[in-house]
Amino acid sequence: MTAVAGGRRGHRDVEVTLCPGGPMLLRGAAHVVDEDGEQHAVVRPVVAVCRCDKSARAPWCDGTHKLL
Amino acid sequence: MKLPRARGPVSTAVFERMLQARDVLAGPLRVELASGDPIEDDDLQVTLWALYELHYRSFEDVDEGWEWAPELLAVREQLEAPFERALREEVRPQVAAVVGAPGDLADRLFALTDSFEGPSLAEHIQRHATREQVQEFLLHRSVYQLKEADPHTWVIPRLEPDIKARLVELQFDEYGGGRPARVHQALYARALIEAGLDASYGAYVDDVPAITLALSNATSLFGLHRRLRAAALGHLGAVEATSSIPCRRFAAGIRRTGFSDPVAVFFDEHVEADAVHEQLAVRGICAELVKASPDLEADVVFGASVCLAMDARFAGRLLDAWGNQEHVAAPGRHESVVSA
């Protein structure tokens, strides 16, 4: 999976935060490309990317890690 | 929105005053509170709800000049004191167990929200609820959801820059990220309309019991008092940390009972948004706030516990009534409710 910086304001830094036992938070990403090469646009200030591989809304976290 | 109907001597006296033109010489207002549980006291909760509402959208039949009237603020304080005491009493065991316990505060808050005992309204809605029960659930939630995020916004100017930036980032998403149609309050209004309910602000205040008003009033109590800013943020943390998975169940139940997609969209949005927000609120806001000001830990845990305890009471109330084939707020009593 790759996160691409940029978007309307051009290239900028992407901040990545790994949450213990939880998702990866991305700030400043324009879109996320999943394992199948599909591009998912980032539409909120911060997004949570699934790290447990069990989300029903992949690539985004849907809280399922808390049930594992 | 018009002033709600009075439910007892306190609301009768206060609403009578609020319906007059603001008169700076009107003098103090004396009210006598009933004994009993303030959280379930209809008269206290509807009065408090209306007094808080002066600071939000207010009422078309009330003079805006009443917002900072000392005699109304005095009554508000008189109602808030027993309400806050009851809330503190309600969650004393949880607060005692979590505050000062070993481990990272964020982990302790997540453990608290995961383990809090309470009936699962979400599971019932997902699997068993009738269409009327789903509609009633939406109706109750409208009292708070149409001002979702607003009570926590009061806290912003009371914070140091680093926590403030984190809270604004979260609230920006609550308010649609600059897109009016995506404001969570607007998404909820859309859901109400599509479910055949009245989406106007405060439409169901007269139809819901004290506990539904108390849910909303607890957030206003925390939001409007600087002294309770950490409780407001703890409350926010618990709201967000108990949202993603239940919202997925609510959305499933809404679709199962044949409501259209736009009714479920509000809950779909919260599955994804709150998976982000719970990390922001619990780790980035609550835990960081307490790192900077350790003396605020007890209030953070208090606010989080109040959210969980009030949700549990509300869920119990609905499930008890539904178990007896009854309604807490009968859909259909209100003119604009379309029979399902």
Domains of chain B: 9-89 (no CATH), 94-323 (1.20.910.10)
Residue A14 phi/psi, 5-degree rounding, is: -105, 130
Does residue B332 carry a pLDDT above 80?
Answer: no
Assess A48–B contact: CB distance below 8 Å, yes or no: yes
Residue A13: pLDDT band by 50, 70, 90 thresholds? confident
Which of A43, A45, A60 lies nearest to residue B169, judging by beta carbons?
A45
Q: How does pLDDT run across B17-64, given as a tens digit for each residue?
A: 999 999 888 889 999 999 999 999 999 999 999 999 999 999 999 999
User: Which tops the pLDDT comparison, A3 or B209?
Assistant: B209
Instruction: Give me the DSSP letters along A8-54.
Output: TT-S---EEEEPTTS-EEEESEEEEE-TTS-EEE--SSEEEE-SSS-
Crossing angle (nearest 10°) for helices B261-279 and B161-174:
170
Q: How does pLDDT run across B126-177, given as a tens digit for each residue?
A: 999 999 999 999 999 999 999 999 999 999 999 999 999 999 999 999 999 9
Handedness of CA B106, B306, B47, B188 (dihedral sign): positive
Contacts of B120 in chain A (CB under 8 A): none
Q: What is the mean pLDDT of chain B?
A: 94
What is the structure's pLDDT at B309? 97
Does residue B198 carry a pLDDT above 70?
Answer: yes
Instruction: Give me the DSSP letters along B156-195.
Output: GGGS-HHHHHHHHHHHHHHTGGG-GGG-HHHHHHHHHHHT
Assess A32–B contact: CB distance below 8 Å, yes or no: no
Span B229-253, average pLDDT: 96
Q: How does pLDDT run across A56-68, given as a tens digit for each residue?
A: 999 999 999 999 8
SS3 B309: helix
pTM (2 d.p.): 0.93
Residues 6+ apart with CB under 8 A from B40: B209, B210, B211, B214
Which of B169, B245, B248 lies nearest to residue A46, judging by beta carbons?
B169
Question: Domain boundaries in chain A?
Answer: 2-67
What is the spatial order of strands in the sheet that A15-18 belongs to?
A15-18, A24-27, A46-49
Which of A52, A62, A68 best tests the B interface by mutation, with the highest count of B CBs <10 A? A62
Which of A25, A44, A62 lies nearest to residue B279, judging by beta carbons?
A25
Which of A20, A47, A62 lies nearest to residue B248, judging by beta carbons?
A62
SS3 B60: coil
Span B233-260, average pLDDT: 96
Q: Which helix (H) or strand (E) covers residue B13, if one does?
A: helix B9-18
Q: Do the Cβ atoms of B222 and B153 come closer than 8 Å? A: no
Does residue B83 carry a pLDDT above 50?
Answer: yes
Query: With an 8 Å Cβ cutoff, are A66 and B110 in contact?
Result: yes
**ipTM of the prediction:** 0.86
As a whole number of angstroms, the distance between CA B261 and CA B270 comes to 14
Using CA atoms, how far residue B187 sits from B197, B207, B241, in Å, is 14, 22, 20
Assess B276–A contact: CB distance below 8 Å, yes or no: yes
Q: How does pLDDT run across B106-137, given as a tens digit for each residue?
A: 999 999 999 998 889 999 999 999 999 999 99
